[in-house]
Structure 1
Amino acid sequence: MRVEPYGEGERSGSDPGGRRPEDEPGTGVVAAFGRQLKLLRVRAGLERGEFGTRTGYSAATIASFEQGRRIPAPRFIDQADEVLGAGGVLRALKEEVARAQYPAFFRDMARLEAEAVELHVYDTHLINGLLQTPEYARAVFAMRRPLLDDDTVDQRVAARVARHSIFSQPFLPTLSFVIEESVLRRPIGGWSVTQGQLEQLLLHGHRRNVEIQVMPNDREEHGGLAGPFTLIETRDARRIAYVEVQRNSRLYTERAAVRELEEQYGILRAQALTPRESLTFIEKLLGER
């Protein structure tokens, strides 16, 4: 079985908590971008306050970008490149900076997800990030232990919301989700957050390229007891499986390994409620409060 590790296997030399060097503030591509940004700003003869005014950010935020403490949005990078006359130097780093907003173990998956023509997801603990509202995502990250600082929570929420661009691509991928009933009943963030999340599921469930299915708690037969996973088909017809647990992740590319999970997913879809039944079920949950 061929396995491509993108988590635990890359953590040699990391601290006991599993944080890789490029995740630390002030290091990696974000720090390199910040140093380049400062050099270009100084060369242009602009103080942080003036530069911030021209780009719509405070001087303190500009300082955070330059010191690698905050990850700039793609819009800021485009503006900064133009205002500073960088000639594309900053824009050239935009893709790498965008990837840095994700936890290290998820960065390769984020790239594959954005390029996928098909995604099939089985979730057992949380609503999948592609379907999460910003409020639900914030509640999830705020509960993370060890605690994340406020800036990191903001970055993670922004990164999660940025993934939603998959729904507005010119070429719409085929997306399907099997979600455990217990996930829908878990009031992450309180009822108002949960209500908004369930309403969001209904909206996504009516998209022509999206199918959402609920796995009821009372099913006596269950094909996915080994845990959550995602199946990916890329534009070049590669089929890949992604499995994640406790900040460790794996991308499976060997056909036999992927086929096993494809078989599980097919059984799960057969055992779950149909997409139409699932939307009715979610509407019923909304009506219980």
Structure 2
Amino acid sequence: MSVDGEVRQLRTEADEPGWEVDPDDEWGVAVVATVGRQVKLRREAVGMRAGDFGKSVGYGEDLVYKIESGKRIPRPEFLDRADEVLGAGGLLSAMKEDVAKVRYPKKVRALAKMEATAVEIALYECNIIAGLLQTQEHARSVIGATQPPYSPDDVERMVTARVARQSVFERDPAPALSFVLEEGVLRRPIGGRMVWRQQLERLHQVGRLHNVVLQVMPMNCDTHSGLDGRIELLKFADGTAVGRSDGAFNGRPVHDPKHLRILELRYGTIRAQALSPRESLTLIEQLLGET
């Protein structure tokens, strides 16, 4: 194969949509800069030019320079290949975990961190199925429907981040989880009938866990205190808490006990108006029978 033919097959920036570094993400910028610097130091230590190194790992020279300068987030497979080519002894491969976190949007990382330490999580959703409950295919359909559309790579990045948050169900000791979802949302076959059925099966499975209370707000409930949007409450072992509501306090996270009591009152009222957990599971079973 000619040199030109080989170069055309190397991964270039055009092949890497969605791997830019968010300049407002200070931690992410620092991580990517550190990884890029380590790659460059290792490459120079073995006396390999950027172009030759790029060919060895399947990347164009310009993209190698961007990664080394901290302007691009390296893919996990790039770090594995670079570790092997440069004889880094696992140093570069070991950076994949932190680099993977950089790919998650900053606000998602912050939310996941809180969810990972909360002892109680309560969430009412009015327009979608809560992200913690979404299957991968359902999440892909929801995120992919956004306008203007995300690039395919960005969709996968966001789906991965959303599904990763569901590790909260594997925690030991398990947190207390409470969800209230709208019946109308459960009846919408997002992603097609198969994806819809899989999502309902997921809800039925989660709703039977000992630490989960899953309720459905029936469509025949003419009004309730959650009509102006989502409400979420997280409580921590040290007695602190954080809450947020689309319809209160401009949607900002709140910590003040007075504000938290308002959100707790609204959430408690919503739960009282929703179907019981047993009735909710029965409804989900009925919906499964219709798919």
- Sort the TM-score into its range (normalised by shorter chain): 0.7 to 0.9
Q: Are 1:141 and 2:143 an aligned pair?
A: yes
* Partner of residue 5, structure 2: none
What amino acid does structure 2 have at the position aligned with 1:205? G
- Secondary structure of the residue aligned to 1:177 is strand
Deviation at 1:70, TM superposition (A): 4.7
Asked if structure 2 preserves the Cα contact closer than 8 Å seen for 1:233 and 1:239, the reply is yes
TM-score (norm 2): 0.74
Supply the RMSD in Å over aligned alpha carbons: 3.5
Among 213, 217, 220, the alignment partner of 1:218 is 220
C-alpha distance 268-89 of structure 1, shift in aligned 2 (>3 A): same
State yes or no: 1:184 paired with 2:183.
no
Task: Output the CA distance in 1 between the equivalents of 2:180 and 2:83.
Answer: 42
Question: In terms of mean alpha carbon deviation, does 39-48 or 176-185 score higher?
Answer: 39-48
Instruction: Return 5+ residue gaps in structure 2 as ranges.
Output: 1-20
Cα separation, 2, equivalents of 1:20 and 1:84: 27
The aligned runs of 1:14-53 (5 Å cut-off) are 21-22=23-24, 28-29=29-30, 31-39=32-40, 41-42=42-43, 45=46, 47=53
Gaps of 5+ in 1: 1-18, 53-57
After superposition, the Cα gap between the structure-2 partners of 1:284 and 1:71, relative to the gap in structure 1 and judged at 3 Å, is farther
> In structure 2, how many angstroms separate the alpha carbons of the residues matched to 1:242 and 1:225?
15
Q: Which has the larger radius of gyration?
A: 2
Contact 1:221/1:271 (CA < 8 Å) preserved in 2? no
The alpha carbon displacement at 1:186 in A equals: 1.4
The more displaced of 41-50 and 209-218 is: 41-50
- TM-score, normalization: structure 1? 0.75
Q: Is 1:154 equivalent to 2:152 in the alignment?
A: no
Map 1:245-260 onto structure 2 (within 5 A).
250-260=252-262
Q: Which has the higher relative contact order, 1 or 2, with Cα contacts under 8 A spaced 6 or more apart? A: 1
Residues in 1 aligned to 2:180 and 2:174: alpha-carbon distance in whole angstroms: 19
Q: Does the C-alpha gap of structure 1 residues 196 and 103 become closer, same or farther in structure 2, counting only changes over 3 Å?
A: same
Distance 1:196 1:131 in 2: 11
The alpha carbon displacement at 1:197 in A equals 0.3
Report how far residue 260 of structure 1 moved. 0.4
Equivalent position SS for 1:285 = helix
2:281 corresponds to 1:279: yes
Map 1:107-126; keep pairs closer than 5 Å: 107-126=109-128
Q: When the two structures are aligned, how many residues end up with a matched partner?
A: 255
Q: Does the 8 Å CA contact 2:126/2:227 hold for their aligned counterparts? A: no
Measured after TM superposition, the shift of residue 146 of structure 1 is 1.6
- Looking at structure 2, the residues matched to 72 and 173 of structure 1 have their Cα atoms a distance apart, in angstroms, of 33
